[in-house]
Structure 1
Amino acid sequence: MKMAKPKWLLVPVLALAVGVGAMLGGAGQGGKPVYAVDNGAAVQKNTITVSGNGKIEAAPDVAYVSVAVEARAATAKDAQAKNATQFSGLTKLLYETYKIATKDVKTTGFSVQPEYEYNPKDGSSKVKDYVAVHAVQVTTRDLNGIGKLLDDLSAAGANRVDGVRFDTEKQEQYELQALDNAMANAKAKAAALAKAAGKQVTDVVTITQNSASSGPIFINKGEMAAADSAAGAPSTSVQTGEITVSADITVVYEMQ
């Protein structure tokens, strides 16, 4: 005696047949396959991609003064000792006279090296003396007193001035302002292009920040007006100028 198959076994078979039929396509008019299409996936939004640039011109609020003490002697030991004596006068000026914090005085280089004298007759060379160099960077926020500071540093023992770099300690604040300007610039470009195409901007799809930077001002030694050693002569003149903080973005807008 044969037992009847349970009806629940027919359900997955029927479902499988329907699934296969959907993949292979049903027969339409003339026996041609008919395929279902998701019209929603085929619709693309009208978009426009533009770049935006913004910048801020601001007065610097901090300066980094780079100077060095150079000392020469017949031996490396004597050169280093002589340099230490000169450098002590420089630190005394900075810490006691100008009241500059120790965190704002940073050694950027120290070396003791031989200097050679070349003999053109036989092509030989010999040690002439030794040079000890101690370079420092001084951070100051008294920008109006830069010239006098340079003169006082020279008088205290700094016999090499490498330059001055002006910058800002409000970098983040100015960067946000530059980004605001860049966004306004991008919006104006998108509106103009959309109008030319007979459309209008409706929404922002994506925003990408490409870069944000500031342009510090570098003043080299040769660009400074050195003070005359005569009594009553004006101090070294240094002009601060302005720094530029810029931002660059890419924005994708939807338009209709």
Structure 2
Amino acid sequence: MVEFDANLNPIEPSGPINFNQSPTSPTPSTPTTPPPVFTQPTPKPPTNNYLVKRLVDLVTLVVIVGVVIGAINMFGNRVSNPTQPEGLNVSADATVYATPDIAKVTVGVNKLANTVANVEKQVTDISQKIKDTLTTLGIEDKDIKTTNYNLYPEQSYRSNGTSTVTGYRAQHSYQITIRDLNITTDVVAAATKAGANEVGQVVFTLENPDSKLAEARKEAMSKAKDKAKQMAEDGGFRIGRLMSVNEYNDNPIPLYDGMGGGEKVVAPTPEPGNFSIKVTVNLTYQIR
């Protein structure tokens, strides 16, 4: 390698040049340190305390959800249940009295014969005679209604479990509506004379009780309204709109006379009397 001085003149080497000399090896660089490797620790199995804590958390969550759902349901039922309105509840009742305008009695024929044909003929003949007799008393066909007709064999049972037909029984019953109460006794007597051997009790009632029910209802409503106004005045508040009305009534209870029995029974004179019809109303008002 030729060196130069300050004037750029070549400097002669002081000794022989060794052309076999190996070039100077570069200084080796410092090796780079690799980045540290982080290893994930092996997970440890959960301890008993951890499992208990998780179980407590789960139970607490379930309890909270249940309380919330219960509160929602209770509030929803309170708002949406129309059968329990909130407000001022008042009730009142009224009773009216009525005199029966019709009577009803059941008469019938009960016969036994050795054949079906014979028993049917007997019952048919007597039934027709009863209807004809009632017609002469002014009872219309629409007021003579068949309520029962039965035909069945009569049997005799032996000790060995077998049975024998001994005859045939037929029953035919009518319900008679009597609109003229003055002839009630005559109707029963005429029916038994014509061959009826079964007579039920005489029932006195109203043909159409709706008008009497309406009368009792109107009076009960008036009483309930007056009662609500008085309670509002005494309580120092005002009542608003009517939110609900409930009605309970005792349907007219028929009056029964003691008639009844077989064909030789002599019917006493019936007394219709009076009966009561009661209506109760329950009103709910909004409170202002």
Instruction: Output the TM-score relative to the length of structure 2.
Output: 0.61
Matched with 2:140 is 101
User: Conserved in 1, the CA contact under 8 Å of 2:200 and 2:260?
Assistant: no
Within-5 A mapping of 1:1-256: 47-95=87-135, 97-119=136-158, 121-191=159-229, 193-194=231-232, 198-199=235-236, 202=239, 204-219=241-256, 223-224=258-259, 235-254=267-286
Of 200-209 and 122-131, more deviation after overlay is shown by 200-209
Are 1:63 and 1:143, in contact at CA under 8 Å, matched by a contact in 2? yes
Contact 1:209–1:250 under 8 Å retained in 2:
yes
Secondary structure in structure 1 of the residue aligned to 2:202 = strand
Pairs aligned (count)? 203
- Structure 1 residue runs of 5 or longer lacking an equivalent are 1-45
Conserved in 2, the CA contact under 8 Å of 1:151 and 1:236?
no
CA RMSD, 1 decimal: 2.9
Q: In the TM superposition, what is the alpha-carbon distance from 1:136 to its structure 2 partner?
A: 0.9
Which stretch shows the higher mean deviation, 72-81 or 144-153?
A: 144-153
Higher strand share: 1
Change (3 A) 1:206 1:144: farther
Amino acid at match of 2:124: A
- Native 8 Å contact 2:92 2:221 kept in 1: yes
Residue segments in structure 2 that go unaligned for 5+ positions in a row: 1-85
- Amino acid in the other structure paired with 1:249: V
Q: Determine the C-alpha separation between the residues in 2 that align with 1:59 and 1:154.
A: 27
Q: Distance in 1 between matches of 2:260 and 2:109?
A: 20
Deviations 1:155-200 (A, max 9, x none): 111110122222213422111111012113323543554455x336
Residue 128 of structure 2 aligns with an amino acid whose one-letter code is S
Aligned-residue sequence identity (percent) comes to 27
Is the contact made by 1:70 and 1:83 (CA closer than 8 Å) also made in structure 2? yes
SS in 1 for 2:169: strand
| Higher RCO (Cα < 8 Å, 6 or more apart) | 1
Using the alignment, how far apart are the partners of 1:130 and 1:91 within structure 2? 24
1:179–1:153 CA distance, 2 compared to 1 (3 A): same
Shift of residue 203, structure 1, vs aligned partner: 5.2
> Counterpart of 2:55?
none
Q: Separation in 2 of the partners of 1:227 and 1:126?
A: 28
Shift of 1:92: 0.8
* Native 8 Å contact 1:148 1:236 kept in 2: no
